[in-house]
Amino acid sequence: MKTKKYKTAAHKRMYGIEVACKATSRKLMCGASTEAEGMALTVSHPLKVDVASLAKDICDATTATETDVKLVWDAMSERIVEALAHGYRVDLAGLGTLNMELSSHKGTTPPTGKEVRISGIRFRPDKNLASRLADVKFSVEGAERKPLTEAELEEALREYFATHEDIHVRELARIGHFAVSTAYRKLKAYVEQGKLALVPKSSHYYRWVGE
């Protein structure tokens, strides 16, 4: 049996771990029109990786100091922003590419240069990024949970609104163990029944207004 070789200590730690996921029931399309039950999964790790922790890992795996890594990162960040500002697409080898997304706020056809604004930064993952994570193991939390019944959901909502002023559609999906699309349908039904109302100037938050 061959032993897997690791490039760095940080790379070695990536394998053999279990990443916790949260699961909710959802409908999956199989083919053109057939629906099948499946699970919608999201990573539920409460922590995040920042520059300081990355610098420490890189320091442990190389001869660079944490200060060196942070200085290089700051310089790279500035160069990346500068490149994007000049209209370049930034290729981060092994990770993906960054580029600006633009829009014309006035919606003219065709727009002039003065009407074009930046609408966001798009990240396109490298096509091999997922395959580099293929050895990561997962443990699923909530896979056996069934969606709440109407009576259970209404009771859960009463308890929720006892301590909260409004609810987001994703929070309802979490509480009821639904897909987000199902949560939207549930909210719409409650609004039609006069039990919930959309928060003014919002498209995703709802308040409890009556029985």
CA distance 189 to 199: 16
Number of domains in the chain: 1
As a whole number of angstroms, the distance between CA 100 and CA 161 comes to 41
Is residue 197 situated within a structural domain? yes
- Domain membership flag for residue 33: no
CA distance 138 to 44: 11
Question: C-alpha dihedral over 51, 55, 139, 4, to 10 degrees?
Answer: 150
Q: Identify the CA nearest to 8 among candidates 53, 83, 59, 51.
A: 59
Q: 3-state SS string over 98-157?
A: EEEEEEECCCCCCCCHHHEEEEEEEEEECCCHHHHCCCCEEEEECCCCCCCCHHHHHHHH
Asked if residue 93 belongs to a domain, the reply is no
Question: pLDDT value at position 147?
Answer: 81
Per-residue pLDDT tens for 39-61? 566 676 666 788 888 888 898 88
- Residue 30 domain-assigned? no
**Structural domain includes residue 83:** no
* Least confident among 5-14, 40-49, 167-176: 5-14
Closest CA to 76 of 56, 59, 91, 65: 91
Which of 136, 144, 196, 191 lies closest to 166 in space, CA to CA? 196
Once rounded to an integer, what is the mean pLDDT over residues 86-102? 92
- Domain of 160, CATH number, reads 1.10.10.10
187: in domain: yes
Is residue 23 over pLDDT 70?
A: no
CB 99 within 8 A of CB 122: yes
In this predicted structure, what is the pLDDT of residue 32? 47
Segment 185-205 shows an average pLDDT of: 85
Which domain, by its residues, includes 189? 149-208
Helices 51-61, 66-85: crossing angle, 10 deg rounding: 120
Instruction: Name, in order, each residue with C-beta under 8 angstroms of 47's C-beta and a sequence gap of 6 or more.
Output: none
